[in-house]
Chains A and B, each alone.
Chain A
Amino acid sequence: MSTFLTILILFFVVTAIWQIVKIYDLTQVNTVTKDSSQIANDKDNKINGYLMLGFLIFIYVITIICFIRYGDFPLMSNSASVHGSKIDDLMMISMVLIFFVQTVTQFFLYYFAYKYKGQKGRKALFYSDNHKLEFLWTIIPAVVLTILITYGLLTWSDIMNVDQDEDPIVIELYAQQFNWKARYSGEDNALGKSNVRLIDIDRANILGLDEFDPNAQDDIITTELHLPVGKPVLFKMRSQDVLHSAYMPHFRAQMNCVPGMITQFGFTPSVTTVDMRKTPEMIEKILNINNIRAEKSKELQEKGEEVLDPYEFDYLLLCNKICGKSHYNMQMKIVVETQEEFDNWINQQTKFKNSLIAQK
């Protein structure tokens, strides 16, 4: 269906181009003395002046369409972390500001272009300077930006400063081409020492933990990330091969994973997966996605291929730094749950000391 629509749009655009060319041809024929100087004459100025106005309307229309279609910002209004709403507020303020400036300046640009389209014999106003005016439009952006910068910096330092007093759960996010692992620090809440040189695939020491480090004994390595709701988490990021980026859009969190160093990012998840699935925005979004998938499944069925499963929402960790061939499919499921559910889950996982395979 959408393919058809696209072809239709393409067809209309091409037709529009053809028509425009034709109009130009006609205007050329009707000119009594054919002007072949290739320099704009009054007729060109008039046509292009009106087109300028038309283009201004086009910009406004495309803006309105985009806002109607995506204005609920499916990933901007329902953050799942405590700091997320601060980012969303700042984003909203910035968006309103640039929306205002964009609307006004584009209006003046295209309106002036239309209004003062050239006419033979008219003379422009010689107007080269106005210090008051220039001072005004230097100082206004300066003041507005000062406010924005201050607000932005306060938010930034608030997010990036990890408060150790809150006693966050320490979890390592471990990136490799092309999957993620999570390492929980266990009861001692301290991650054991690690180095890629200690990786021993045969013994299932896949993250290169120091097996003689007491802190490492109760570490737990998983392929799914579970987080208890309302509890601060401090992620320590590590990569074993190339740069990756741990991107958790629903939590407004992202940090690069850099081989040779440990990076960190902390946040507090505020909405469980189950609760998020029940929010009206998410219900609507998922319904929409499942309609699209159902339609696609029909097409696939006709071709005799496998149909798509209906989609159920889950938080995701994505790789967001180009990392090689399968960069586009490097993801890990995140589950936010109650403390009780989390404890149940973590107790079922194997501790590092028990997961090692004994040397032959």
Chain B
Amino acid sequence: MSEYIEIDPKEDHGHHHKETFITKYIFSQDHKMIAKQYLITGVLFMGVIGILMSLLMRLQIAWPEEPNIIFEFFLGKWAPDGVMDADIYLALVTMHGTIMVFFVLTAGLSGTFSNLLIPLQLGARDMASGFLNMVSFWLFFLSTVIMVASIFVEAGPAAAGWTIYPPLSAVELAQGGSGLGMTLWLVSMAIFIASSLLGSLNYIVTVINLRTKGMTLTRMPLTIWAFFVTAIIGVISFPVLLSAALLLIMDRSFGTSFFLSDIFIQGEVLHYQGGSPVLFEHLFWFLGHPEVYIVLLPALGIASEVIATNSRKPIFGYKAMILSILAIAFLSTIVWGHHMFISGMNPFLGSVFTFTTLLIAIPSAVKAFNYITTLWKGNIQFNPAMLFSIGFVSTFITGGLTGIILGDSALDINLHDTYFVVAHFHLVMGISALYGLFSGVYHWFPMLFNRMLNKNLGYVHFWVTAICAYGVFFPMHFIGMAGLPRRYYTNSNFPLFDDLADTNKIITGFALVGGLIQIVFLYNFIHSMFYGKKSPQNPWKSNTLEWTASMKHIHGNWQGKIPEVFRWPYDYSKPGYEEDFVPQIRPMKKDEIEY
């Protein structure tokens, strides 16, 4: 095809310094290599640990009384004779949450796709600062190492829940995991935040400054819009978590009383006076809620791109999509209090947060309807990436709708911290974001490794995962409505909940199958990385710029000049063209209207 940049060696602006193994694979400053590093560390490595932990928890919930050899195998001294320790159950809860939310879905998802796509889809040779990008990854790697190391400390890892509310997380007497385990957790997160900030700043600067000629803001693919806005929310909210972590470190190690007051524990009065755990809750959720959207927005962006490409139709309501991303981002920073309706804060404040929270349903509804309309009268190509994107829209709706219930303070009184909450956020941010992640991996695998993933394994992966995801989380809403609190090591002390035990077993069954089927993906990924079919230049017949770049990774992305952009990225099936796609680099015809 003529619009692909022909390689003209005379005009080669690519950088050609000599690369050693270390500069190419380890301390690489190339955004494509860094994307792969994030993918493998954040998603594959941490993802396996996170999912494994959830399966151990599910086994414990389903068969609390029965010793299990699997526990002994994985947990060693924490499960003598196969009986799981109650503290280690809470540690699993905590570490699963931390790893999945921060390491897999924040660093893994944004780190991989922002790094890969921002320069490629904007027509930039690399990130604004390759060096900072490298530092960002290696800080992330360091925080990963510390977090994984914390699992192995003598008294156990952090076990105060991923929200690490003090005093439980601050006072070692309250819980074994609040000793060295929690110290490492806090140190790891502080480094993680530094990494995330460096990454986000880099993304923002790149999007603002390094767009190629013709790439106006309203010609950017929705992926870039999503990554851009995600980075902005990250820069606004992550520093607040950093300060909360630092203050907590001071309370723990230097005797200050920011979050602690009037504590009598194990027969002794502690010296703390005047602090308030509620302050910590405010600081934590000031990040904690935007974090949900830091996880979700990239998935929304990926789904927009994948759905438009595979429907062979322009995304419906491009500008409304951008506006709703901006609206969601803005609202996300003023709703944190809906996690705290019953924390003891003034009920009037609860009213305000109910109001702002429920408003988020409006831009979210617009997005969902726009996706559905994009499918209408399309010519849908069911590549595995497309299946995951449709699955994403489905779980985004199912999980999002229950948010209307939980965001309503009056209803939250009775559902707060029950399994209803667990079901809600796992569907809307866990499963949805994972679907977005998988969709991205299936779609851009050719771009990452210049090879194709096996589609049939992809189909098996999707359909089994989809059935299991609903099988796990749909019934979970109902046991939550029956009043079952989350984070209980066993429910056998409450005969009131005996009739829910069967449901818990069914849920665990689905969770086991859903967890184990990920092996198919892992196999497909690793196998295709080395032996997959070589990818053609533009396998999905997509309009965006990355498919005009060299599929073989070179420093600088395009061997010749940087391509110029003449149109928005969604000219699929445009009347007047024979092909059903018109890449952004093809100039407009005379009298052609842009969109």
Bound CA span A48–B320, Å: 30
Which chain A residues (266-315) contact chain B, with CB distance < 8 Å? 285, 288-289, 292-293, 308, 311, 313
On chain A, the residues within 8 Å of B52 by CB distance are none
How far is the CB of A59 from the nearest CB of chain B, in Å? Answer: 6
Binds A, one of B195-203, B234-242, B256-264, B429-437: B256-264
Q: Which of A127, A129, A201, A249 contacts B267 (CB 8 A)?
A: A201
How far is the CB of B185 from the nearest CB of chain A, in Å? Answer: 15
Bound CA span A128–B308, Å: 10
Bound CA span A263–B340, Å: 13
Bound CA span A304–B574, Å: 75
The reply to whether A48 and B459 form a contact with Cβ atoms under 8 Å apart is yes
Bound CA span A351–B169, Å: 36
The reply to whether A243 and B277 form a contact with Cβ atoms under 8 Å apart is yes
Mask of A54-97 contacts with B, CB within 8 angstroms, 1/0? 01001100110010011001111000000000110011001101
Bound CA span A217–B275, Å: 30
Select the residue from B368, B390, B495, B595 with max chain A CB neighbours within 10 A.
Answer: B495
A338 within 8 A of B: no
Given A39-B455, A153-B355, A331-B493, check contact A98 B275 (CB 8 Å): no
The reply to whether A324 and B379 form a contact with Cβ atoms under 8 Å apart is no
The reply to whether B463 and A20 form a contact with Cβ atoms under 8 Å apart is yes
Given A98-B402, A252-B413, check contact A134 B320 (CB 8 Å): yes
Bound CA span A156–B342, Å: 11
Bound CA span A313–B466, Å: 39
B72 within 8 A of A: no
Mask of B476-518 contacts with A, CB within 8 angstroms, 1/0? 0111011101011111011110110111011011101100010
Binds B, one of A180-188, A219-227, A253-261: A253-261
A125 within 8 A of B: yes
The reply to whether A70 and B481 form a contact with Cβ atoms under 8 Å apart is yes
The reply to whether B490 and A328 form a contact with Cβ atoms under 8 Å apart is yes
The reply to whether B382 and A331 form a contact with Cβ atoms under 8 Å apart is no
Bound CA span A87–B454, Å: 51
Mask of B324-346 contacts with A, CB within 8 angstroms, 1/0? 00000000000000000011100
**Nearest neighbor of A146 in chain B, beta-carbon distance:** B358
Bound CA span A44–B385, Å: 13
Bound CA span A245–B413, Å: 11
Given A259-B167, A261-B278, check contact A124 B264 (CB 8 Å): no
Which chain A residues (1-26) contact chain B, with CB distance < 8 Å? 2-3, 5-6, 9-10, 13-14, 17, 20-21, 24
Bound CA span A10–B59, Å: 14
Bound CA span A36–B501, Å: 47
Bound CA span A59–B391, Å: 12
On chain A, the residues within 8 Å of B347 by CB distance are 156-157, 160-161
On chain A, the residues within 8 Å of B368 by CB distance are 105
Which chain B residues (130-174) contact chain A, with CB distance < 8 Å? 160-161, 165-168, 171, 174
On chain A, the residues within 8 Å of B80 by CB distance are none
The reply to whether B366 and A259 form a contact with Cβ atoms under 8 Å apart is no
B556 within 8 A of A: no
Bound CA span A243–B264, Å: 13
Binds B, one of A164-172, A192-200, A341-349, A352-360: A192-200
On chain B, the residues within 8 Å of A126 by CB distance are 313-314, 572-575
Bound CA span A4–B125, Å: 59
Bound CA span A116–B375, Å: 7
Bound CA span A329–B175, Å: 16
The reply to whether B482 and A74 form a contact with Cβ atoms under 8 Å apart is yes
B452 within 8 A of A: yes
Q: Which of A36, A141, A243 contacts B167 (CB 8 A)?
A: A243
On chain A, the residues within 8 Å of B362 by CB distance are 138, 141-142, 145
Q: Which of B171, B361, B371, B478 contacts A141 (CB 8 A)?
A: B361
The reply to whether A241 and B264 form a contact with Cβ atoms under 8 Å apart is yes
Q: Which of B381, B414, B539 contacts A252 (CB 8 A)?
A: B414
On chain A, the residues within 8 Å of B87 by CB distance are 324-325
On chain A, the residues within 8 Å of B314 by CB distance are 126-128
The reply to whether B471 and A62 form a contact with Cβ atoms under 8 Å apart is yes
Which chain B residues (243-290) contact chain A, with CB distance < 8 Å? 260-265, 267, 269, 274-278
On chain A, the residues within 8 Å of B488 by CB distance are 327-328
**Nearest neighbor of A27 in chain B, beta-carbon distance:** B456
Which chain B residues (361-387) contact chain A, with CB distance < 8 Å? 361-362, 365-366, 368-373, 375-383, 386-387
B417 within 8 A of A: yes
On chain B, the residues within 8 Å of A51 by CB distance are 463
Given A109-B397, A160-B350, A316-B496, check contact A255 B375 (CB 8 Å): no
Binds A, one of B16-24, B220-228, B403-411, B557-565: B403-411
Bound CA span A113–B350, Å: 40
Bound CA span A143–B414, Å: 26
A216 within 8 A of B: no
On chain B, the residues within 8 Å of A34 by CB distance are none
B27 within 8 A of A: no
On chain B, the residues within 8 Å of A58 by CB distance are 467, 470
Q: Which of B278, B354, B512 contacts A156 (CB 8 A)?
A: B354
Query: 3 smallest A-B Cβ distances: which pairs?
Result: A260-B261, A249-B483, A48-B382
**Can you list 10 A-B contacts (CB < 8 A)?**
A9-B506, A24-B459, A40-B382, A74-B499, A124-B379, A134-B317, A145-B361, A161-B347, A242-B167, A292-B501
- With A17-B464, A116-B311 given, name 6 new contacts (CB 8 A): A69-B503, A125-B376, A137-B365, A247-B483, A260-B261, A320-B485
Q: Which residues of A contact B (CB under 8 A)?
A: 2-3, 5-6, 9-10, 13-14, 17, 20-21, 24, 28, 36-40, 44-45, 47-49, 51-52, 55, 58-59, 62-63, 66, 69-70, 73-76, 86-87, 90-91, 94-95, 97-98, 101-102, 105-106, 108-110, 112-113, 116-119, 122-130, 133-134, 137-138, 141-142, 145, 148-149, 152-153, 155-157, 159-161, 176-177, 195-197, 199, 201, 208, 237, 240-243, 245, 247, 249, 252-256, 258-261, 263, 265, 285, 288-289, 292-293, 308, 311, 313, 316, 318-329, 331
